[in-house]
A and B are shown apart, each in its own frame.
Chain A
Amino acid sequence: MESQNSEQVLSLVASANTKGKHRILAELKRLEQEARILEEELDQIKKMEKASPACKELLVDVESRPDPLLPITDGPAVPAWDRWFERLQDPTGCGCWLC
Chain B
Amino acid sequence: MSVTELKERHLAATQTVNSLRQQLNQKRLLLLDTDVAGYSRAQNKLPVTFTPTDLVCCRTLQGHSGKVYSLDWTPEKNRIVSASQDGRLIVWNALTSQKTHAIKLPCPWVMTCAFSPSGQSVACGGLDSICSIFNLNSSMDKDGNVPVSRMLSGHKGYVSSCQYVPDEDTHLITSSGDHTCILWDITTGLRTSVFGGEFQSGHTADVLSVSINGSNSRLFVSGSCDATARLWDTRVASRAVRTFYGHEGDVSSVKYFPDGNRFGTGSEDGTCRLFDIRTGHQLQVYNQPNSDSDFAQVTSIAFSVSGRLLFAGYANGDCYVWDTLLAQVVLNLGSLHNSHEGRISCLGLSADGSALCTGSWDSNLKIWAFGGHRKMT
Please list the residues of chain A having a beta carbon within 8 angstroms of any beta carbon in chain B: 17, 20-21, 24-28, 30-35, 37-39, 41-42, 45, 48-52, 54-59, 61-63, 65-78, 80-85, 88, 90, 94-98
Contacts and interface: CB of A to CB of B under 8 A. Distances in A.
Nearest to B16: A35
A83 B262 CA distance: 30
A49 to B, nearest CB: 6
How big is the B interface, by class?
A: 35 or more
A96 B3 CA distance: 66
Interface of B: 3, 6-7, 9-10, 13-14, 16-17, 20-21, 23-24, 27-28, 31-36, 38-40, 43, 45, 48-51, 54-55, 58-59, 63, 78, 95-99, 102, 198-199, 201, 239, 242-243, 257-259, 261-262, 276, 278-281, 283, 304-309, 324-325, 352-356, 367, 369-377
A67 B306 contact: yes
Nearest to A28: B10
B352 A70 contact: no
A81 B376 contact: no
Contacts of A52: 33-34, 39
Contacts of A27: 10
A36 to B, nearest CB: 9
A83 B3 contact: no
B3 A81 contact: no
A26 B198 contact: yes
Most buried by A among B3, B99, B354: B354
B17 A35 contact: yes
B339 to A, nearest CB: 16
A51 B96 CA distance: 45
Contacts of B58: 84-85
B261 A57 contact: yes
A59 B36 contact: yes
A25 B6 CA distance: 7
Given A38-B24, A42-B20, A33 B239 contact: yes
B3 A28 contact: no
Contact of A84 (B6, B95, B262, B353): B95
A42 B17 contact: no
Contacts of B35: 51, 55
Contact of A98 (B33, B99, B306): B99
Contacts of B55: 69
B204 to A, nearest CB: 8
A21 B22 CA distance: 29
26 contacts: A17-B3, A21-B6, A24-B3, A34-B201, A41-B24, A42-B20, A48-B31, A48-B279, A50-B31, A51-B33, A51-B279, A51-B283, A55-B35, A58-B259, A59-B39, A62-B325, A65-B306, A68-B354, A68-B374, A69-B304, A69-B353, A77-B374, A78-B352, A81-B354, A94-B96, A98-B102
Contacts of B356: 69
Most buried by B among A38, A39, A78, A95: A38
Contact of A45 (B27, B258, B371): B27
Nearest to A44: B280
**10 closest residue pairs by CB, A with B:** A75-B376, A67-B306, A65-B306, A55-B39, A38-B20, A31-B13, A84-B369, A68-B354, A81-B354, A54-B276
A15 to B, nearest CB: 13
A90 B309 CA distance: 34
Contact of A21 (B3, B51, B353): B3
Most buried by A among B40, B63, B281: B281
